[in-house]
């Protein structure tokens, strides 16, 4: 290995942290501390994942050897915690979404720029072999010129299984802000930035009944729209139809993401995962599942933080950047804004399309 490992701390030791601690498999990441407002929770994760130190968030931020902090707090806390991380002189990689409001997202970008640190955000599933393969096939011309796409996340909600379903129906929740980041980031990876959005929203139920085996029978007041539909006009000319819903109780046969070109169609894998399958159907009748051209097809949450570490050491851009995450945040709000205003929304933000990953990377490494 030619680059020095980057010391990493984690703030927020909830359920998702287990997946992030698995990023210890990346040679460039050295997890040295974890923290939580509930200290016992941090101690439990430290013991489970062999992390040297468990502490409060405030104590972790005083640790000068840490260069990157992974922020796994709830969405409403993302901005407060990220700003504290940045103020301590550390780079921040946060769970999605970047922020609840555009204003908060802009504040994070400005703070990181002023402090000279990096800001990154999940999802990083687009690094996975399934999505990098799909991108390569599109760029290599397998379906001709891409002209359109569809993206569907159709579920019945989370109250029947999630241990804490409340915030999914409050401000900062809903299907667009919960799952939209996966789908919209995947589309930005494939096509680059968007320029215009239209949308319609609705709410199937005013209250949800919890049936998760913990708080059965309790009612959740639904504050946010639970069905969001619209179109995205990308700067490269592709028009995508997007539907995100918590109101589909009977299931669906719709694809996750499909891309339609002048010579064929690509079925892109679930953007909430890293692997395949990737399928191509061409105008000449050929239909096939394509072997993945790239690695990291298993569960590799935290690969975005590893990419940030390489960016710190090598001076190159990182792919799951704050700019990409803010553009996706802007897009998510635009669906709701378009519905409320009954007008197209022309996006003020943009971003560079993340660079494609090279093929042939050794496991546990990324490009320098």
What's the pLDDT tens digit per position in 297-344?
987 899 999 999 999 999 999 999 999 999 999 999 999 999 999 999
User: Kindly report the CA angle at 95 between 93 and 97, in degrees rounded to 5?
Assistant: 110
Q: Give bridge partners of residue 207 from the DSSP assignment.
A: 221
Closest CA to 136 of 285, 359, 324: 359
Give the β-pairing of 68-71 and 6-11.
parallel
**Structural domains of the chain in order of their starting residue, each with its CATH number:** 6-121 (3.40.50.720), 129-290 (3.30.360.10)
In this predicted structure, what is the pLDDT of residue 243?
98
Looking at residue 276, its pLDDT comes to 87
Residue 299 region, left (φ>0) first, then alpha (ψ -120 to 50), else beta? beta
- Number of neighbouring beta carbons within 10 Å of residue 288: 10
pLDDT value at position 298? Answer: 87
Coil vs helix vs strand at 144: coil
Q: How far is CA 305 from CA 154, 183, 318, 341, in A?
A: 29, 20, 9, 37
pTM above the 0.75 mark? yes
Structure confidence at residue 286 (pLDDT): 87
Residue whose tokens read 């959005």? 197
Residue burial 240-262, b: 16+ Cβ < 10 Å; e: rest: bebbbbbbbeeeeeeebbbbbbe
The contacts of residue 354 (CB under 8 Å, 6+ apart) are: 126, 188, 189, 319, 320, 321, 324
Handedness of CA 348, 352, 356, 361 (dihedral sign): negative
Q: Which mean pLDDT values do the consecutive 10-residue runs of the chain (368 residues) have?
A: 89 93 95 97 97 97 98 94 98 96 98 98 97 98 97 96 90 93 98 98 96 94 97 98 97 96 97 95 91 92 96 97 98 98 97 97 94
- Confidence (pLDDT) at 300: 85
């Amino acid at each position: 290995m030619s680059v020095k490992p980057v010391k990493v701390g984690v703030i927020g030791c909830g359920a998702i942290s287990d997946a992030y601690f698995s990023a210890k498999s990346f040679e460039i990441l050295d997890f040295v501390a974890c923290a939580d407002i509930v200290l016992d929770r941090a101690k439990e994760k430290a013991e489970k994942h062999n992390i040297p130190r468990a502490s409060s968030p405030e104590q972790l931020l005083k640790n000068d050897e840490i260069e990157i902090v992974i922020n796994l707090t709830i969405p409403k806390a993302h901005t407060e915690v990220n700003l504290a991380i940045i103020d301590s002189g550390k780079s921040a990689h946060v769970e999605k979404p970047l922020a609840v409001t555009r204003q908060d997202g802009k504040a994070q970008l400005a703070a990181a720029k002023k402090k000279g640190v990096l800001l990154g955000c999940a999802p990083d599933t687009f690094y996975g072999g399934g999505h990098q393969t799909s991108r390569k096939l599109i760029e290599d011309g397998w379906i001709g010129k891409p002209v359109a796409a569809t993206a569907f996340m159709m579920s019945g909600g989370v109250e029947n299984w999630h241990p804490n379903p409340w915030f999914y129906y409050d401000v900062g929740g809903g299907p667009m802000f919960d799952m939209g980041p996966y789908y919209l980031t995947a589309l930005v990876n494939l096509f680059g930035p968007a320029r215009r959005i239209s949308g319609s929203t609705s709410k199937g139920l005013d209250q949800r009944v919890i049936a998760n085996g913990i708080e059965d029978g309790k009612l959740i007041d639904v504050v946010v729209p639970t069905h969001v539909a619209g179109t995205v006009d990308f700067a490269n000319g592709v028009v995508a139809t997007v539907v995100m819903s918590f109101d589909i109780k009977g299931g669906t046969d719709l694809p996750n993401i499909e891309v339609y070109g002048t010579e064929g169609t690509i079925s892109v894998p679930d953007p909430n995962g890293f692997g395949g399958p990737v399928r191509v159907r061409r105008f000449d009748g050929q239909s096939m599942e394509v072997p993945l051209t790239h690695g990291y097809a298993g569960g590799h949450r935290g690969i975005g933080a590893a990419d940030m570490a390489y960016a710190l050491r090598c001076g190159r851009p990182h792919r799951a950047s704050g700019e990409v995450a803010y553009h996706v945040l802007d897009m998510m709000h635009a669906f709701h804004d378009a519905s409320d205003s009954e007008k197209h929304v022309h996006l003020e933000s943009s971003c560079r399309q993340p660079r494609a990953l090279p093929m042939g990377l050794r496991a546990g490494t990324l490009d320098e």
